[in-house]
Amino acid sequence: MKLKTALLATALTSVAFAASAQEVTVMSWGGAYTKSQVEAYHKPFTSETGIAINSVDSDNPATPIKAQVEAGNVTVDVADVEFSDAVRLCDEGLLEEIDQSILPAAPDGTAAADDFIDGALQDCAVANIVWSTVFAYNKDNNPTAPDSIDDFFNTADFPGKRGLRKSAKATLEMALMADGVPAGEVYEVLDTDEGVDRAFAKLDEIKADIVWWEAGAQPPQLLADGEVVMSTAYNGRIFNAAIAENQPLEVVWDGQILDFDLFVIPKGAPNKEEALKFIAFSTDTQRLADQASWISYGPARKSSGALVGKYSDGTTDMAPHMPTAAANLGNALVNNFEFWVDKDAELNERFNAWLAK
């Protein structure tokens, strides 16, 4: 009897250990953005479920998860990706579908499908934030403050190096807006050979002054170090540098490009069920509002907006720093994910050829 009791106790201990050893690997973009997710999602999720989070970073999570699925060696359970990448990877059969019925309703009972911003829910993806590509400058290194996307390309009146993301996406749109194309017509123009030529001709004007960046943490550092006088950047990274690190950096909202980031599950993820639990937990009304207290990205749920208050310093109001604030939308472009799903490979091939010239 004692032996049976001992064996049973051992078995129960093993089961308990297995449960406590559960882990979800979440891949994101690093820096201040990952920190906001750790504070708002990871820590509370582990506290509530006992499931640990293994947080890993990438310059662009879409790239390694595509490689992992195609190689049949998937180690990531959840990845945070851009909208066009989420749609493309889903179309290619590289992502698990996500049943929207697992997502919690809003506090007032509104179903998740009606509570998320239009476009935020896809067959294989659930959005968490609305963010934007902006440009920013160091106030100490710019005697005259730039205030339009035109100024970013004007090296005569605003001399100095420019930081640009090493990618066709956003770079070409900003070039066209700086060349006088209204935001509402950018994709119509960029969908023509003449429009593509026009965008690259505009980039030619500053090509000799460009410092290329690939990771979101680089632009604030380039600006703080004086290596560039202006740089495109993710708006939340500039907010973090300016508010949390007290750097003299300022966002220019003119010409901003709005986009979603979404959670996806790679096909064959080793911990799919736990991954679904994580996504459902992390995209409820309160968690999305909580993330906005750590970084200036807008929540993807309507019900979260009223819960967004101050930054984690307890003094900075977050609303004016959101890309979706009314005052920041004067000349904003919403990323056309369908365009980039169709044109990404073609335009990046052209972009890389242009870089090599």
CA atoms within a 13 Å half-sphere pointing along the CA-CB vector of 26: 30
Average pLDDT over residues 283-309: 93
Q: Model-level pTM? A: 0.81
CB 76 within 8 A of CB 64: yes
The total number of residues written for the chain in this structure: 357
State the Cα–Cα distance between residues 324 and 314, nearest whole angstrom. Answer: 21
State the Cα–Cα distance between residues 347 and 351, nearest whole angstrom. Answer: 6
Tell me: the pLDDT tens digits for 183-197?
Answer: 999 999 999 999 999
Place of tokens 């993330």: 291
Question: 48, exposed or middle or buried, with CB in 10 Å at 0-12, 13-18, 19+?
Answer: exposed
pLDDT for 119 equals: 87
Question: 224, exposed or middle or buried, with CB in 10 Å at 0-12, 13-18, 19+?
Answer: middle
Tell me: the pLDDT tens digits for 114-154?
Answer: 999 888 999 999 999 999 999 999 999 999 999 999 999 99
Q: At residue 320, what is the residue type?
A: P
Tell me: the pLDDT tens digits for 67-121?
Answer: 999 999 999 999 999 999 999 999 999 999 999 999 999 999 999 999 998 889 9
Alpha helices per DSSP H over the chain: 2-20, 31-37, 43-49, 62-71, 83-91, 112-115, 149-152, 171-178, 186-190, 193-204, 218-224, 235-239, 272-282, 285-291, 337-356
Report DSSP state, residue 244.
Answer: I
Instruction: Name the maximum alpha-carbon separation found in the chain.
Output: 89
Per the model's pLDDT, the better-predicted residue between 274 and 10 turns out to be: 274
Q: Which domains does the chain have, with CATH numbers?
A: 2-130+261-320 (3.40.190.10), 131-259+325-356 (3.40.190.10)
Could you tell me what percent of the chain has a pLDDT over 90?
Answer: 86
pLDDT for 19 equals: 40
Q: Which of 299, 303, 306, 274 is nearest to 126 (CA)?
A: 299
Residues contacting residue 230 through CB under 8 Å, at least 6 positions apart = 135, 136, 137, 142, 146, 151, 152, 158, 160, 162, 163, 223
Handedness of CA 267, 273, 279, 284 (dihedral sign): positive
Phi and psi angles of residue 206, each rounded to the nearest 5 degrees, phi first: -120, 10
Tell me: the pLDDT tens digits for 17-61?
Answer: 344 458 999 999 999 899 999 999 999 999 999 999 999 999 999
Report DSSP state, residue 21.
Answer: T
State the Cα–Cα distance between residues 320 and 262, nearest whole angstrom. Answer: 23
Place of tokens 């935001």: 183
Element housing 133 (H / E): strand 125-138
pLDDT for 259 equals: 92
Place of tokens 């996806």: 264
Q: List C-alpha distances in Å: 234 to 139, 238, 256, 275, 295.
A: 18, 7, 10, 26, 11
CB 62 within 8 A of CB 248: no
Tell me: the pLDDT tens digits for 255-264?
Answer: 999 999 999 9
| Residue 199 confidence (pLDDT) above 70 | yes
